Structure 1
Amino acid sequence: MTVLILGAVMFAVLFAGFSALGVWQVQRLLWKQDLIRQVDTRIHAAPVAAPPPDQLVTRQADQYRRVVVSGRFDHAREARVKAVTDLGPGYWVLTPLMTDRDFTVLINRGFVPSERQQPADRAAGQVEGVVRIVGLLRLTEPDGGFLRANDPAGDRWFSRDVAGIVQAKGVQGPVASYFIDADATSNPGGWPRGGLTVVRFANSHLIYALTWFGLALMSAAGLVLFLREEKKRRVGR
């Protein structure tokens, strides 16, 4: 009797555990689908004013929100961040924009190939005067690139770390905690090339859910087989 009870309990626990994990993945799937719908709505919405530095910005509510801001670029403090895009390897050009609302925000003006990384090699794109930028609000990336830490002292950047870049470049005054990916509006001379933001969400929750539910069914089948074998064994005594 003890073996029967222990076996039944073991299979029942496995069935319950796998089923719970399957339900959790279904919940995650619904959450991810809702997030994708929200982001798609933000990307295609009319641009709103970029939030000031004292406004809380969150991943859930603000990532990829379409925003607009006006001001003047501080080209002397631009940072170049290693990047690989559909145009090949090169750099993102991040430039502080001193806005007409008395705060600064980093603008990812777009991509330049390695041979265009120096400002002198794309002089036409170093625009002066007041500019209007429309783009997508992005959250800071403080952790560096894959297996590559940012090196502020050497001015080598592998992620768009707002706080790190601001500090290393000596940007003064109130600064937004996020950056803005500029849209595809052409810059003089064609560089930097904006509008290359890739919006992609991993969504394997359905596969995971089916896997867990499959394991739950296997556990249930195992329980049935176990009980049958126990019944045969006891009848055969």
Structure 2
Amino acid sequence: MSSASPEKIDRRHSAAGLTIFCGLMALLIGALLALGGWQIERLSWKRELIARVDQRVHAEPSPAPARAEWSGVNRSNDEYRHVTARGTLQNDRETLVYTSTALGPGYWVITPLALADGTSILINRGFVPTGMRDPVTRPEGQIAGPVSITGLLRLTEPKGTLIKSNDPANDRWYSRDTAAIAHQRGIAEVAPYFIDADGTPNPGGTPTGGLTQIAFPNNHLVYAITWFVLAAMAIGLLFFVVRGEILARRA
């Protein structure tokens, strides 16, 4: 009974190993190309988003969504809309949210705006430095009577930031969480969004509005190039290995 020679067995093992290697490399190359293609799709989406937001920001202001529209307010269609609302500022219920801006560390002044229909919208009236945290240091800015607020619609920022969580019990706030702030201040029927007031000067000069930062990281092209380069390197490695195996067999 004949048996295969060691040389034939080695060739079979080599062929099996090469087949497995090629299969794994094909899967890797396919995955890298898919990731690169996905980043290209994300790039297109991000560019459309930036253009859409830019159009909203510079559009003529429209009325802020009323109570009947609250359930339909979403990030895709509404964030950074240029809106206006009229009501009365409830200065005795303002909330200070810690922030750091180009003007230095300080606070956003968040004040409920009571509307005629009994609902409220939280208004980010703008920035005050740490030394003006107490409202008595800025009495002119505590506007009484009906006012019109124009600015950008922003969605609620629940719980806090990645670094610090809100502490309602001790009145320490690091994000503009509309529901939590409204609950803490005893405000019923508050909108699920807030309005960043524009740069219209307030009496006395504070708070300072119009400081909304609109920035969307757009590194998708870099990521796509990275995935495609890795795919090209994997293809090169596969070609080098297969070519070396072919030359070895011919030899």
TM interval, short-chain normalised:
over 0.9
Which of residues 122, 144, 148 is equivalent to 2:160?
144
Q: Which has the larger radius of gyration?
A: 2
Aligned residues: 235
Q: Equivalents in 2 of 1:184, 1:116: separation in Å?
A: 18
TM-score w.r.t. the length of structure 2 is 0.92
Which of residues 167, 170, 194 is equivalent to 2:183?
167
Tell me the SS of whatever aligns to 1:71.
Answer: strand
Tell me the SS of whatever aligns to 1:76.
Answer: helix
Runs of 4+ in 1 over 4 A off after TM superposition: none
Q: Does 1:213 align with 2:236?
A: no
Q: Does 1:15 align with 2:9?
A: no
Tell me the SS of whatever aligns to 1:196.
Answer: coil
Which of residues 43, 59, 78 is equivalent to 1:62?
78
- Which residue is equivalent to 1:203? 218
Does the 8 Å CA contact 2:62/2:82 hold for their aligned counterparts? yes
Task: Tell me the C-alpha RMSD between the 2 structures.
Answer: 0.9
TM-score w.r.t. the length of structure 1 is 0.97
Note the 1:69-148 alignment, pairs <5 A. 69-148=85-164
Note the 1:26-45 alignment, pairs <5 A. 26-45=40-59
Tell me the SS of whatever aligns to 2:68.
Answer: coil
Tell me the SS of whatever aligns to 1:200.
Answer: coil
Q: Equivalents in 1 of 2:85, 2:66: separation in Å?
A: 10
Q: What is the Cα deviation at residue 101 of structure 1?
A: 3.9
Which of residues 167, 191, 198 is equivalent to 1:176?
191
Q: Equivalents in 2 of 1:209, 1:229: separation in Å?
A: 30
Does the 8 Å CA contact 2:178/2:193 hold for their aligned counterparts? yes
The structure with higher relative contact order (CA 8 Å, sep 6+) is: 1
Does the 8 Å CA contact 1:183/1:195 hold for their aligned counterparts? yes
Tell me the SS of whatever aligns to 2:170.
Answer: coil
Q: Equivalents in 1 of 2:104, 2:128: separation in Å?
A: 9
Q: Equivalents in 1 of 2:164, 2:32: separation in Å?
A: 38
